[in-house]
Chain A
Amino acid sequence: MNKRKTTLIFTLILATVLLTSCSAGLSGSSWPGISTNGDTFYVANLAHVYAIRATDGSMIWRYPEKASRTMYFAAPVLVENQLIAGDYQKILHSLNPTTGAENWSFQANGPWIASPLVANDTIFAPNGDGSLYALDLNGNLKWKFAATRALWSQPVGNGDTVYQASMDKTIYAVDMATGELKWSKDLGGAVIYSPTLSTDGTLYVATLARELIAVNTADGEILWRRKFTESLWSQPAIHEDTLFFGDLSGKAYGVSRTDGADIWTQSLTEPVTGRPTVTEESVVFATENGNLVALSFTGERLWSKTIEGKLYNGPVQFDDKLLIGIALGDSPLKLVTTAGQDVWTFIPPK
């Protein structure tokens, strides 16, 4: 091969690498999704699902063992003797939680961005193709419900109904047994994060139209809606009669569940994303710039901690500790006490 040909091929390969790295963009565009059974943390992050010992943060197994083009966006969900994790390549995997071996898989037509809900021995799995799939615990399709756009948020359920918010600006109430639509409501804005379901049967949901909306689960009636000046990239958390959430301007809110009126606000100065975590004595907010800020239930600042990387969701509480999923940091996972002190950091083995 002559020198000119070699130069040309080298240039094209270089251009391929540059262009594909520009566009693939998936490597850093997610945050770790976490679930736990008390002894083990299950974390979906980038190319793997990890099982990690809660005591010391050491890895038990990872799936798949060798990284491929597959990416995991949705937090895995633990049910009985299986771990359900959907990937970006359209496949929903059932893994053995002890060994990481695959039990079964189910293919949809779009990427799995949101976690499934498991209830009544059924897996309710929302997909990027706009369908909510109901599978039995062996991965067999029971029914599917089609929304008109992608489903990026985890559904919630109570007894016999599953509530699915969609990018098509609608929330759907679907019969868990049959997949039939009970009611639907136009929310006026796409929904990214899941709605929050209260024990009294009210759904609280933030939309891209900068609104926080309370919906009656019985009939889909909107109980109240409140417009905000800044974008809400958040899922409200509930503590007694207060809803906690943040906005992209950096404001944290405590609002009344009855009518959405402010109880208190607190400036965190950085974009607040995801769902805050309610602990025994505080509510912990995650900011995009990597700060974890604990406020009292009345909005006073208790402590804060800076993490290297970006935070797109509140931590997961485990006993008296908080597990933080970190995007674009040195480590994807860190365990801290509810007072903000480090316990361990997980570094994935190469």
Chain B
Amino acid sequence: MNIWDSLIITPFINTLLFIYNLIGQNFGVAIILFTLLIRLITHPLMVKQIKGAQAMQDLQKNEKWLKVQEKYKGDKEKLAQEQMALYKELGINPFSSCLPTLIQLPIIFGLYQAVIYAMATTPIDLLNLIRHIYPALLKVETLIPLNNRFLWMDLSQPERLNIPGLEFGIPVMVIIVVLTTYIQGKLTQPANPNPKDQTAAMGSMMNLYMPLFMGYLAYTLASGLALYFVASNLVGIAQYAMLGKVNWANVFPFLKKKDVKAGKGKK
């Protein structure tokens, strides 16, 4: 077993299966609770990331910053020096938004891989899973076979809802994954992004392509992963909402109009 397995995958698998055992062997609920647990543990990192990103966004409007950009636009080296000086002066760490993301990445990948391991669908997959189980924590004989059924889904297989009369199954989870990914992206986007802001433009494009990308994964992979994507999206929205960083008007335009009217009234 390598370091990645020992430090990330194995503890994650055991936590997931421990939750599964604790709640009466329901793998769907275990995935949801496990996702929630990991997101809670990484919440402080997320807060730091959001604060760092906000500080960088505010910096774009700072007069000193704009002056420096204008003054040294032909001298990259000098511009970098002045920017560093400004970061120091304003107490901003330019890595404060990306560092927490980098720390979260292995955790997210670990969570993703742990879910895959736990949904062992072939004998060799099961052999590999059993080798990851801590015997002091979990008993293989009571744990295996895992109950992969959740609602209408077999979590180890791609999901399709078969309706009598229809010759094809409807990929309900794919639709939910696409919708929740899109909504999460829109809600966490700044309300009135600067059209010249490259980061905002990149964010808009991500909001368009990311739901399709996640939808493709949900369509082709086991529905346990689709369930994880949905849980992760919903928990993400809740986290942003708790931090007051959700822009509801991006999804519900009528809220925007009300704001404008309210603003006019105040004037």
Interface residues, chain A, with chain B CB atoms under 8 Å away: 4-5, 8-9, 12, 15-16, 19-20, 22-26, 28-31, 73, 110-111, 113, 128, 149-150, 152, 167-168, 188-190, 192, 207-210, 231, 233, 273, 312, 327
Contact = CB atoms under 8 A, between A and B. Distances in A.
B127 A233 contact: yes
Name the 5 nearest CB pairs between A and B, nearest first.
Answer: A209-B141, A167-B145, A29-B124, A12-B213, A189-B141
Majority SS at the chain B contact face: helix
Contacts of B122: 26, 29-30, 73, 113
7 contacts: A4-B202, A15-B213, A25-B116, A152-B123, A189-B144, A208-B144, A312-B124
Interface string B215-256: 011001110010000000000000000000000000000000
Given A12-B209, A15-B213, A22-B116, 6 more contacts: A12-B210, A23-B225, A24-B221, A30-B122, A167-B145, A190-B144
B218 to A, nearest CB: 11
A25 B213 contact: no
Contacts of A128: 121
Contact of A149 (B125, B145, B225): B145
Nearest to B130: A231
A29 B125 contact: yes
A25 B113 CA distance: 11
B201 interface: yes
Interface in B183-233: 198, 201-202, 205-206, 209-210, 213, 216-217, 220-222, 225
A24 B217 CA distance: 11
Contacts of B37: none
A15 B122 CA distance: 25
A5 B205 CA distance: 8
B124 A31 contact: yes
Contacts of B210: 12
Interface in B65-120: 112-113, 116
Nearest to A114: B123
Contacts of A113: 122-123
A4 B154 CA distance: 39
A207 B157 CA distance: 25
B124 A150 contact: no
A266 B204 CA distance: 65
Majority SS at the chain A contact face: loop
B140 interface: yes
A208 B213 contact: no
A80 B50 CA distance: 68
B141 A208 contact: yes
B221 A23 contact: yes
Contacts of B140: 208-209, 231
A190 B123 CA distance: 11
A25 B125 contact: yes
Contacts of B121: 111, 128
B19 interface: no
Contacts of B112: 19, 22-23
B175 interface: no
A16 B216 contact: yes
Contacts of A188: 141
B126 interface: yes
A110 B130 CA distance: 22
Contacts of A26: 122
A25 B209 CA distance: 25
B97 to A, nearest CB: 18
Interface string B133-160: 0000000110011000000001001000
A192 B145 CA distance: 10
